[in-house]
């Protein structure tokens, strides 16, 4: 191919996904998979298509470690800089080191493909400007760097480790603009008020890329928000980017067969070497492998309830022969007042509803409990602290519940006693689980998933974080009061 022809192909805007795929193979030496390996996954190429073709929109990328997230984001940035003259792109990582990783892909690509377009007069090692007016720079993880910024594209890498405040500030930095060349052939930067005669609108968009390390961490919150508002979420795991497997390699003896199932033999593209994947699998635990490389579920390494599995314990319906209804309450004022509706049949426990509210009087909470469409509870299991007299009303919360007609049980206990009973119900040493939760109980599910251990002196104890402990506390009171022991039970 002649130098002139190659240069024309380099800078010519692309019209179709096929054009885009050929361009990436030619100038970046990447054969990006265009089809997912498994149902429910996305093809990594889907990310590039959404990032390149306008009108682009926000998107979230949930992918495995080493799965090409950072590399493909650098390719998307290269394409923007070359094909949308005058565009402003910024790279924001969970740390400066993470931002630099994308930069270390982008700068060699630019130097190799379009050295003559680079303007070396910027005087900043982490900022580049092209002769066509396009600019790109690396940002540090701080609100100071993000606030006041106005760019067309923001690529956020490894948002799982972002500060929530920085992520919130980043939502307001993108602006759409018109990018392109003037009819005179001279370069024109992005402007919102002076449209070049041969230019195209470039939509402001944020790409959020990360693995998902922690249950209900920032990445999971971003994914949930994206799904709620219809923002595309692109997902792929190690198998989706695995290189094509040679036919002579035997599947039955392959350490990756449990995950691959022979799919790699049918693939035509991919960039993670099979031998590298096998070596990585041999180095780590099954939990790390499933979390970091297969993107199955967040790590539960520090979780208080490691055996909790939504696929097992969260159910729309649980069959009971002769159920009774009770309530479990954790009192709070500034902290939330929590009430759980619990159906019981022998050892079988099914939490069917929840109520959480702060800054209300006990009487207001009682009215809410009475208006819920559930059978009248036989009793309430509650926080022993509810026996303390309220300075404003002169009566305790327990007494207020009694005056409303409820039978109230409370028993003082150590935290670990109730925790162990919940654990035993989630995964008994013998037999099937006996604790289930309805999907509508979102805060309880979140709390059981997210409650972690904290080191107190030489021991580990559940972290009283003021967020995830209250719903679990209410559930604790149900279990410890269910076990009637003499000398400790107070019944009203």
* Tens of pLDDT, residues 16-40: 999 999 999 999 999 999 998 888 8
Whether the per-residue pLDDT at 4 is higher than 80: the answer is no
Output 215 or 162, whichever has higher pLDDT. 162
Count Cα neighbours of 447 within 13 Å in the Cβ-side half-sphere. Answer: 26
Whether the per-residue pLDDT at 186 is higher than 60: the answer is no
Q: Exposed, middle or buried, 37 (CB in 10 Å: 0-12/13-18/19+)?
A: buried
Segment 133-158 shows an average pLDDT of: 90
What six digits make up the tokens of 150? 């106005």
pLDDT band at 11 (very low <50, low <70, confident <90, very high): confident
Return the pLDDT at 52: 96
pLDDT band at 461 (very low <50, low <70, confident <90, very high): low
395-423 burial string, b = 16+ CB within 10 Å, else e?
Answer: ebbbbbbeeeebebbbbebeeeebbebbb
pLDDT band at 117 (very low <50, low <70, confident <90, very high): confident
Please state, in angstroms and rounded to a whole number, the distance separating the CA atoms of residues 141 and 443.
30
Residue 300 in contact with residue 427, Cβ under 8 Å? Answer: no
| CA atoms 13, 16, 17, 23: torsion sign | negative
Q: Exposed, middle or buried, 283 (CB in 10 Å: 0-12/13-18/19+)?
A: exposed
Return the pLDDT at 5: 53
Task: Report pLDDT digits (tens) over 360-391.
Answer: 888 899 999 999 999 999 999 998 888 887 65
pLDDT band at 9 (very low <50, low <70, confident <90, very high): confident
Pairing of strands 59-63, 88-93: unpaired
pLDDT band at 245 (very low <50, low <70, confident <90, very high): very high
Whether the per-residue pLDDT at 272 is higher than 50: the answer is yes
Q: Is the peptide bond before 55 cis (omega within 30 degrees of 0)?
A: yes
Return the pLDDT at 358: 87
CA geometry: angle 51, 78, 83, nearest 5 deg:
75
> Tokens 């780590």 — which residue?
284
Please state, in angstroms and rounded to a whole number, the distance separating the CA atoms of residues 79 and 150.
20
Please state, in angstroms and rounded to a whole number, the distance separating the CA atoms of residues 119 and 190.
17
Return the pLDDT at 278: 94
Return the pLDDT at 195: 36
From residue 84, alpha-carbon distances to 167, 220, 402 in Å are: 26, 32, 70
**What length does the chain have?**
492
Segment 194-204 shows an average pLDDT of: 64
Instruction: Quote the percentage of the chain above a pLDDT of 90.
Output: 53
Please state, in angstroms and rounded to a whole number, the distance separating the CA atoms of residues 272 and 270.
6
Instruction: Quote the percentage of the chain above a pLDDT of 70.
Output: 87
Per the prediction, the chain carries an average pLDDT of: 85
Please state, in angstroms and rounded to a whole number, the distance separating the CA atoms of residues 172 and 177.
15
Return the pLDDT at 189: 43
94-97: Cβ within 8 A, 24+ apart: 94/141, 94/157, 94/158, 94/159, 94/160, 94/161, 94/162, 94/210, 95/141, 95/158, 95/161, 96/138, 96/140, 96/141
- Closest C-alpha among 242, 239, 294, 293 to residue 272: 242
Return the pLDDT at 185: 38
Q: Which residues are CB-contacts of 371 (< 8 A; sequence separation ≥ 6)? A: none
144-170 burial string, b = 16+ CB within 10 Å, else e?
Answer: ebbeebebbbbbbbbbbbbeeebbebb
User: pTM for the full model?
Assistant: 0.76
Residue 281 in contact with residue 404, Cβ under 8 Å? Answer: no
Return the pLDDT at 196: 35
């Amino acid at each position: 191919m002649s130098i002139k022809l190659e240069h024309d192909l380099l800078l010519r805007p692309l019209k179709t996904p096929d054009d885009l795929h050929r361009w990436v193979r030619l100038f970046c030496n990447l054969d990006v998979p265009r089809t997912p390996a498994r149902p429910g996954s996305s093809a990594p190429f889907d990310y590039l298509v959404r990032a390149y073709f306008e009108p682009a929109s926000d998107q979230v990328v949930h992918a495995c470690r080493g799965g090409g997230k950072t590399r493909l984001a650098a390719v998307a940035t290269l394409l923007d800089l070359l094909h949308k003259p005058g565009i402003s792109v910024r790279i924001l990582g969970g740390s400066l080191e993470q931002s630099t990783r994308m930069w270390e892909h982008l700068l060699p690509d630019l130097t190799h493909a379009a050295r003559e377009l680079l303007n070396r007069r910027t005087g900043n090692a982490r900022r580049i400007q092209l002769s066509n007016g396009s600019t790109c720079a690396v940002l540090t993880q701080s609100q100071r760097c993000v606030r006041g910024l106005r760019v067309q594209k923001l690529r956020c890498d490894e948002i799982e480790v972002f500060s929530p405040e920085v992520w919130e500030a980043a939502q307001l930095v993108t602006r759409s603009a018109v990018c392109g060349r003037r009819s005179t052939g001279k370069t024109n930067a992005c402007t919102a008020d002076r449209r070049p005669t041969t230019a195209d609108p470039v939509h402001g968009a944020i790409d959020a890329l990360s693995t998902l390390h922690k249950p209900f961490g920032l990445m999971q919150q971003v994914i949930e928000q994206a799904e709620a508002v219809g923002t595309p979420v692109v997902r792929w795991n190690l198998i989706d980017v695995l290189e094509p497997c040679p036919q002579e390699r035997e599947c039955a003896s392959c350490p990756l067969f449990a995950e691959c199932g022979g799919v790699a033999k049918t693939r035509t593209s991919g960039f993670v070497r099979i031998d590298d994947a096998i070596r990585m699998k041999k180095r780590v635990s099954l939990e790390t492998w499933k979390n970091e490389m297969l993107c199955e579920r967040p790590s539960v390494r520090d979780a208080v309830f490691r055996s909790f599995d939504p696929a097992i314990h969260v159910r729309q319906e649980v069959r009971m022969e002769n159920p009774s209804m009770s309530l479990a309450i954790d009192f709070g004022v500034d902290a939330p007042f929590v009430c759980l509706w619990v159906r019981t049949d022998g050892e079988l426990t099914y939490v069917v509803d929840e109520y959480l509210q702060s800054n209300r009087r006990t009487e207001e909470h009682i009215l809410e409990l009475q208006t819920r469409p559930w059978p009248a509870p036989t009793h309430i299991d509650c926080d022993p602290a509810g026996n303390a007299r309220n300075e404003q009303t002169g009566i305790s919360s327990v007494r207020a519940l009694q005056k409303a007609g409820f039978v109230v049980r409370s028993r003082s206990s150590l935290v670990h006693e109730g925790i162990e009973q919940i654990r035993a119900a989630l995964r008994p040493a013998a037999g099937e689980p006996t604790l289930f939760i309805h999907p509508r109980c979102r805060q309880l599910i979140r709390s059981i998933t997210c409650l972690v251990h904290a080191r107190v002196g030489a021991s580990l104890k559940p972290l009283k974080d003021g967020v995830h402990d209250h719903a679990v506390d209410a559930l604790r009171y149900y279990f410890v009061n269910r076990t009637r022991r003499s000398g400790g039970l107070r019944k009203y």
